[in-house]
Amino acid sequence: MGIPLLVIVVALLSTPTTSGPAPGPSTAMCRPIQPEHGPILIVGNADFTTANGVGRGTGIPLDPYRIEHWYVATGAAHGIEVKNTTAHFLIRDILACGVPPYLHDGVRFDNVTNARIESFDSIYNGAHIRILKSTNIAIDRVGFTGRQVPWEPGTITGIHVEDSRFVNMTRVNTRWDGQLTTGVSLLQSQDILIEDSNLGYTANAIAFSSSSGVTIRRVEVGGGNGIVSGSSSDVRIENTRFLSCLGLRLAAARDVAILGSTFANNADALVLEGATNVMVDGNSFQPGKGTEYMAGGIAATNSRDVVVVRNTFGPVYHGVRLTSTTNASVHHNEFQGPRVPAYDERGPENRWDDGYPSGGNHWSDYAGVDEMSGPNQDLPGPDGIGDTPYVIDGDSRDRYPILNSGLRPDSGALEPGPAGFEALSSTTAQLTWRGEGTVARNLSAPEPRIPETTVPSCARQKVK
């Protein structure tokens, strides 16, 4: 029953609230320096006109239509709504501010191709940016605020993407802790990139369902839930920092790579439910200051083909927990003092080492010695591997525990990300749009400067 609930949750996040309280002081934060323009509605390429806020441009890739330098109030309609267009256009330097009852979106696209939004700031809107049935959309340098005082309902989501493809989101920033329900939500979409962003002030940082080709990298997530996903495939999450109560939950996911990320002070760090073909490589699982043994590690349930390699587990409550999970391979990890380092319900159907001489894992509580060597540890001379197995339970064990901390060989080359996204360097990414009306652009993305996020105090429910 849990998996359908995820789908329902994401679907609900895509719909704005239908009730609003009496007018509050929402305009207190709207101090525009741009000239004011009324709500903009563009239906078809012919509506890119001066009357609709277009300053210049011809609608081609090198000279897009430009809607820029406006303050737009969204009380009577969506701030900027565009439908059924194929011309290239840019929305830049816009402040969209909602007024009660906050039912409209800051920017709304429906059946749009070839659009870019940058330097966009949105306050108190139904959704700050809503992308529906659209293709080839780039979003860069946007900031969102939910609500400031209790009687204002705030926004449901920062960016909602539905039934769309090739959407790139860079440098997205959410503000006012807990005031956004969701930072980014995806539903039935493909080839999505979220990078270099701070989604640290939300109930849900990222939620996606029934989507494929989702890449998330160099993102800080915080608040209640970090990243929650249902029924999605080809997911790649790398170099991301999780400071939320729930770190990452993937239900009914397949073909997933979780790489080089940090999970800190998460009551449940990484939860896999019904997942298939998952690589968890080079991540760190650590408690927050003063919360030793209150944070979680990896919990896989009803999953298969899971590889856990080159990860570090600090003094968290549990390291790796496998329940009704088969064909899991756990090796070359550092277990540096979890209260329950490992648990395996199925036993011999999973592997806790990589054979000899590659070895298994490093366990800080291993009490064995290294005086012998060989596949059977019966030849004279040490080899860096314990002479006796590390026992997990009656039918689960690491046959070749590694004694020296840091002995973690390369686990092999990593698979590339989803089609359409190619990493050029640590500071630059290329988004290649391959749909109809193909465009190629280089999007310069400097290393993010993520502000400090208050780590929530998460009530720990111990794993039984």
Q: pLDDT tens-digit profile of 45-70?
A: 999 999 999 999 999 999 999 999 99
Select, from the ranges 31-40, 143-152, 338-347, the one with the highest average predicted confidence (pLDDT): 338-347
Within 13 Å of residue 454, how many CA atoms lie on the same side as its CB?
A: 9
Confirm if 240 and 221 have CB atoms less than 8 A apart.
yes
The tens digit of pLDDT for each residue in 107-129 reads 999 999 999 999 998 887 878 89
Task: Give the residue-averaged pLDDT of 136-155.
Answer: 68
Q: Which domains does the chain have, with CATH numbers?
A: 1-19+36-223 (2.160.20.10), 253-417 (no CATH)
Rounded to two decimals, what is the model's pTM?
0.82
What does the pLDDT read at residue 160? 94
Cα–Cα distance measured from residue 302 to residue 299, given in angstroms and rounded to the nearest whole number? 10
**According to the model, what pLDDT value does residue 18 have?**
31
Amino acid identity at 154: G
How would DSSP label each residue in 86-135?
-S-EEEEEEEEE--TT--S-SEEEEEEEEEEEEEEEEES-SEEEEEES-E
**Cα 195 from Cα 216, distance rounded (Å):** 6
Q: Do 323 and 350 meet the contact criterion of CB atoms below 8 Å apart? A: no
User: Mean per-residue pLDDT for 31-38?
Assistant: 81
